[in-house]
Amino acid sequence: MGDRGWLAVSWPKEYGGQGRPLLDQFLVEEEMALHGAPASDALGRVIIGPMILAFGTEEQKRRFLPGIARGREVWCLGYTEPEAGSDLAGVQTRAESSGDVYRIYGRKLYTSGAEDADYCLLVARTDQNVPKHEGISLLLMPMRVPGVTVRPLYNLLGLHWFNEVIFDGAEVPKSQCLGGENQGWRILTAALGLERITVYRCFLHWRAFQGLLRWVREHHRGPLRAIARQRIADLAIAFEVARLLLYRAILAWERGEDIRAYAAMVKLFNSELAQRLYQTALAAMGPYGALREGSPWAVYAGAMAHGYLSATQETVGAGTSEVQRDLIARRGLGLPRG
């Protein structure tokens, strides 16, 4: 798919894409999700690549974008720290200047995919003597260099998706600073909206909803309890709303508008929709729906139980639901700070 340009449809052709509008990229993504196509490095394609396109030097674009577009280089995000989650400006990981490189010291948590990553978009502090929002830089950090240690963190599924990453003097060339030294916060505020609409896409769960419908039709030969029918009908409505919210945000992005409030709506609605979906599925299917993959009696090879546990983190990652509501209130509705 990468060789055909399908993984980066909206990128310029010289960087491995097809030069089409961003909306087309999401239409392709939707079809891939609906048909169960294999996933590639979503973080690199839908978050980091667009940031390099918007803020990178020509040298950085030529070096990094083709590898992402063709699915040959894997990326992770070095954001969260023990004392910096929703308040990303509180990062303490240091990038100390040493000639033409930075030496990195610090610790990141819940870094998805770090165990396989070739590179990390690293948020680090390059100036300790200015207000916290002003001393942050974004570094295109190689992961397979001395001084980088990746330790697994297991999630509710018992799977190794998250990691603790420790940087102890690892070096990154200063030429791989994205957007200029101490310009990280400006870039992050511009890019967080895109992250929220690309990671929390409603159509990722549409197959599970269709599976729920099929199971209920096949196994409830008699009357179906009114509460189950109503919850399923509510989910059908919610998916329509989620899709419209997503595509409104994408069109606003293409028009160059401030999408922070729209993106917060997408992230908030979609993450809570995912949780409602799998709660409804397990309630409708009973004990069989709660069986995990590997059990011969598991419904759809345990997909519903898997989704139920996985969706637990969706209202936390990329900003909690409370953070999203605050963004909607301030950026979208013009309400004063609380």
Closest by CA to 138, choosing from 197, 183, 75, is: 183
Phi, psi for 59 (deg, rounded to 5): -60, -45
Clarify whether residues 287 and 319 are in a common domain.
yes
Closest by CA to 149, choosing from 111, 99, 177, 94, is: 111
Closest by CA to 186, choosing from 25, 37, 36, 55, is: 55
For residues 281-285, give the mean pLDDT: 91
The span from the CA of 240 to the CA of 250, in Å, is: 16
Per-residue pLDDT band for 30 (boundaries 50, 70, 90) equals confident
In a domain, 275, yes or no: yes
**pLDDT over 70, % of the chain:** 96
In a domain, 171, yes or no: yes
From the list 29, 171, 195, 314, the catalytic residue is 195
Clarify whether residues 326 and 206 are in a common domain.
yes
Q: Looking at 27-31, 78-82, 246-250, which range is the least confident one?
A: 27-31
Per-residue pLDDT band for 221 (boundaries 50, 70, 90) equals low
Confirm if 261 and 332 have CB atoms less than 8 A apart. yes
The number of C-alpha atoms within 13 Å of 23 and in the hemisphere containing its C-beta is 11
Q: pLDDT tens, 325-337?
A: 999 999 899 999 8
Clarify whether residues 61 and 154 are in a common domain.
no
Look at residue 46 and tell me whether its pLDDT is greater than 90.
Answer: no
The three-state secondary structure class of 286 is helix
Clarify whether residues 54 and 153 are in a common domain.
no
What pLDDT score does 115 carry?
93
The three-state secondary structure class of 165 is strand
For residues 19-27, give the mean pLDDT: 88
Beta-ladder partners of 102: 97, 172
Total of domains in the chain: 3
In a domain, 172, yes or no: yes
In a domain, 194, yes or no: no
CATH of the domain at 285: 1.20.140.10
Angle (CA) 245-246-248 rounded to 5° is 65
Clarify whether residues 62 and 171 are in a common domain.
no
Per-residue pLDDT band for 160 (boundaries 50, 70, 90) equals confident
CA distances from 110 to 9, 28, 159 (A): 29, 29, 13
For residues 11-15, give the mean pLDDT: 93
The span from the CA of 165 to the CA of 116, in Å, is: 12
CATH of the domain at 146: 2.40.110.10
Last-in-domain residue among 72, 89, 114: 72
In a domain, 308, yes or no: yes
Clarify whether residues 217 and 287 are in a common domain.
yes
The span from the CA of 166 to the CA of 208, in Å, is: 37
Clarify whether residues 273 and 168 are in a common domain.
no
The span from the CA of 27 to the CA of 285, in Å, is: 31
Clarify whether residues 206 and 327 are in a common domain.
yes
Look at residue 88 and tell me whether its pLDDT is greater than 90.
Answer: no
Last-in-domain residue among 72, 93, 120: 72
Last-in-domain residue among 22, 41, 72: 72
Domain that holds residue 94: 76-182
Look at residue 185 and tell me whether its pLDDT is greater than 70.
Answer: yes
For residues 208-224, give the mean pLDDT: 84
What pLDDT score does 197 carry?
75
Look at residue 316 and tell me whether its pLDDT is greater than 90.
Answer: no
User: Model-level pTM?
Assistant: 0.85
Clarify whether residues 323 and 281 are in a common domain.
yes
In a domain, 188, yes or no: no
What pLDDT score does 39 carry?
65
Per-residue pLDDT band for 218 (boundaries 50, 70, 90) equals confident
Confirm if 338 and 271 have CB atoms less than 8 A apart. no
Clarify whether residues 103 and 172 are in a common domain.
yes
Per-residue pLDDT band for 290 (boundaries 50, 70, 90) equals very high
In a domain, 110, yes or no: yes
Confirm if 80 and 110 have CB atoms less than 8 A apart. yes
The span from the CA of 285 to the CA of 304, in Å, is: 9
The answer to whether 195 is a known catalytic residue is yes
Clarify whether residues 63 and 131 are in a common domain.
no
CATH of the domain at 32: 1.10.540.10
In a domain, 2, yes or no: no
Clarify whether residues 311 and 224 are in a common domain.
yes
Look at residue 179 and tell me whether its pLDDT is greater than 90.
Answer: yes
